[in-house]
């Protein structure tokens, strides 16, 4: 007799997009308001790094995953949703409490540290989602277009260029987040244990 405490069946990860895809699209669309919050000064973050992060997600979710039904069934979609939600849960809780003047040392540390392993994994998962989608964009011709004067846009090439830009953007965003982390944790009053 085998007892299983956790069981991810074949269909549970594959059906992730069908179960929560609409909610994820709605939440990611609403997250664009964060750019407005930064612009008007409600949130004290820098606009460009956050713009890069949100653009990554919007392109992956709406262009790569939503447009190709075959990609929606890939395990990478579940992994992406877990990573995105884990980061957002901590970051938005921290941001919301910071705006109203409440801070907890553990939440500050978690918000400024959790992204370090997870963000690169997100970018790798996003890159893998693009890689897995390329055959479908090639065979279906989605977003590819024939232009006048014998010009055309072959969307798989656009995705391959975006794939390279994804890693350049990750380097920029990671560098910015790391310096922001250093500045925030340097001034945050952590109590040290006396030995």
Rounded CA separation 80/187 (Å): 32
- Active-site pick, 34, 56, 126, 162: 126
Residue carrying the six token digits 């069981």:
7
- Specify whether 126 is catalytic: yes
Q: Which two three-digit tokens encode residue 3? A: 């007892």
Rounded CA separation 29/119 (Å): 20
CA angle 49, 55, 59 (to 5 degrees): 155
- Active-site pick, 119, 136, 143, 154: 119
- How does DSSP classify residue 102? -
CA angle 53, 74, 136 (to 5 degrees): 90
Rg of the chain over Cα atoms, rounded to whole angstroms, equals: 20
- Specify whether 119 is catalytic: yes
Q: Are 103 and 97 in contact (CB under 8 A)?
A: yes
Q: Which residues are catalytic?
A: 119, 126
């Amino acid at each position: 007799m085998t007892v299983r405490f956790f069981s991810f069946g074949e269909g549970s990860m594959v059906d992730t997009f069908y179960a929560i895809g609409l909610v994820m699209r709605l939440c990611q669309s609403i997250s664009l308001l964060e750019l407005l919050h930064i612009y008007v000064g409600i949130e004290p973050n820098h606009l460009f790094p956050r713009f890069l992060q949100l653009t990554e997600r919007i392109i992956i979710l709406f262009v790569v995953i939503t447009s190709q039904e075959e990609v929606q069934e890939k395990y990478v979609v579940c992994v992406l949703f877990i990573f995105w939600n884990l980061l957002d849960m901590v970051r938005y809780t921290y941001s919301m409490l910071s705006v109203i003047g409440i801070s907890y040392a553990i939440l500050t540390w978690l918000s400024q540290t959790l992204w370090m392993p997870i963000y690169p994994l997100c970018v790798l998962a996003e890159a893998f989602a693009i890689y897995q989608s390329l055959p479908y964009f090639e065979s279906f011709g989605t977003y590819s277009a024939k232009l006048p004067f014998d010009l055309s846009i072959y969307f798989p090439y656009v995705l391959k260029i975006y794939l390279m830009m994804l890693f350049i953007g990750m380097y920029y965003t990671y560098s910015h987040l790391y310096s922001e982390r250093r500045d925030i944790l340097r001034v945050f009053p952590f109590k040290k244990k006396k030995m």
